[in-house]
Amino acid sequence: MGRRRKDNAMVFSNLIGRAQDRLAKRARYRRLVSEIESLSNRDLVDLRADRGEMLYQAYRSVYG
């Protein structure tokens, strides 16, 4: 019984850890999207940047 409880605790801990990781990634991605979306078209011209490409790179940097 003791080992089974320990195994269950490890599984639960693993699930919680994975959920926390997903939430942290989502928060990071949403912050990046918000920053990118806040750039005006003029800012993008000054940066010589493309909003779509920036959003793609933000996704890749967070999720791989």
User: In this predicted model, what pLDDT tens digit does every residue of 9-62 receive, in sequence order?
Assistant: 899 999 999 999 999 999 999 999 999 999 999 999 999 999 999 999 999 999
pLDDT score, position 2 = 74
Per-residue pLDDT at 1 exceeds 60: no
Higher pLDDT: 1 or 38? It is 38
- At residue 4, the pLDDT reads 86
pLDDT value at residue 6 = 84
- pTM above threshold 0.75: yes
Residue 14 in contact with residue 6, Cβ under 8 Å? no
